[in-house]
Amino acid sequence: MDSASANNSPQNEQRFDRGARLTLAAVALLLLWPITLSLLFTSYPTDGWASTTEVGFFDGPFTLRFSLTGDPTALLPGDRVTAIDGQPLVVGQLPPLPEPLGAGRSVTYTVERNGQTLDAEVTLIQIGLASYAAIWLHSPVLSLTTLLTWLIAAAVFFLRPDQPAARYLLIAFTFQAGTAFTEILANPYVYALPSWAIFLTSFYTTGYSWVYIASLILLVLVFPVRLRPLRRFPRALPLLLCAVPFTTMFLATPRYPAVSQNDLQLGLGGLTFAIFFVLFPVVIFGAIIRNLLKVKEPVERAQVRWMALGFGVGLGVDALITLFSFATYDFVGQERLRALTAVAGLALPLALAVGILRYRLFDIDVIIRRTTSYALLTALLALVYFGSVVVLQRLLSPVTGESTAAVVLSTLLIAALFLPLRRRVQAIIDRRFFRKKYDAEQVLARFAATARDETDLDALTAELLRVIQETMEPESVSLWLWPEDGIRSRQ
DSSP letter assigned to residue 110 = E
Question: For position 196, what pLDDT does the model report?
Answer: 93
Q: Give the span between the Cα atoms of 478 and 490, in whole angstroms.
A: 6
Q: What angle (nearest 5°) sits at the alpha carbon of residue 48, between those of residues 44 and 49?
A: 125
pLDDT at 92: 74
3-state secondary structure of 49: strand
Instruction: Indicate the SS3 state at residue 43.
Output: coil
Residue 416 region by backbone torsions, left for phi larger than 0, else alpha for psi between -120 and 50, else beta: alpha
pLDDT of residue 283: 92
Handedness of CA 305, 307, 308, 310 (dihedral sign): positive
* CB neighbour class for 53 (10 Å; exposed up to 12, middle 13-18, buried from 19): middle
Residue 350 CB contacts under 8 Å (≥ 6 apart), including other chains: 152, 310
Burial class (CB in 10 A: 0-12, 13-18, 19+), 476: exposed
pLDDT of residue 59: 47
3-state secondary structure (DSSP) of residue 129:
coil
Helix H segments across 78-227?
Answer: 130-138, 140-159, 164-178, 195-204, 207, 214-222
Q: Helices 164-178 and 214-222 meet at what angle, rounded to 10?
A: 160
- pTM, two decimals, is 0.73
Q: Count the residues in the chain.
A: 491
Would you state the torsion angle of the CA atoms of residues 109, 112, 114, 118, taken in this order, to the nearest 10 degrees? 50
pLDDT value of residue 31 = 93
Encode the chain (491 residues) as per-residue pLDDT tens digits: 344 444 444 455 557 788 899 999 999 999 999 999 999 998 889 888 888 765 444 445 688 888 888 777 888 888 888 889 888 888 777 888 888 888 888 999 999 888 889 999 988 988 877 777 777 777 788 888 888 999 999 999 998 888 899 999 999 999 999 988 888 888 888 888 999 999 999 899 899 999 999 999 999 999 988 998 888 888 899 999 999 999 999 999 988 888 778 888 889 988 998 898 889 889 999 999 999 888 888 888 888 888 888 888 888 777 777 666 655 555 555 666 777 777 878 888 888 888 888 766 665 566 666 666 766 777 777 777 777 777 777 776 666 656 666 777 777 777 777 778 777 777 776 666 555 555 556 666 666 766 666 666 667 677 676 766 665 556 666 766 666 554 454 55
**Long-range contacts made by residues 114-121, C-beta under 8 angstroms, separation at least 24?**
117/82, 120/73, 120/74, 120/75, 120/79, 121/74
Closest by Cα among 196, 247, 205 to 53:
205
User: Strand 87-88 to strand 80-84: parallel, antiparallel, or no bridges (unpaired)?
Assistant: antiparallel
Query: What does the pLDDT read at residue 131?
Result: 78
Three-point CA angle 26, 29, 33, nearest 5°: 150
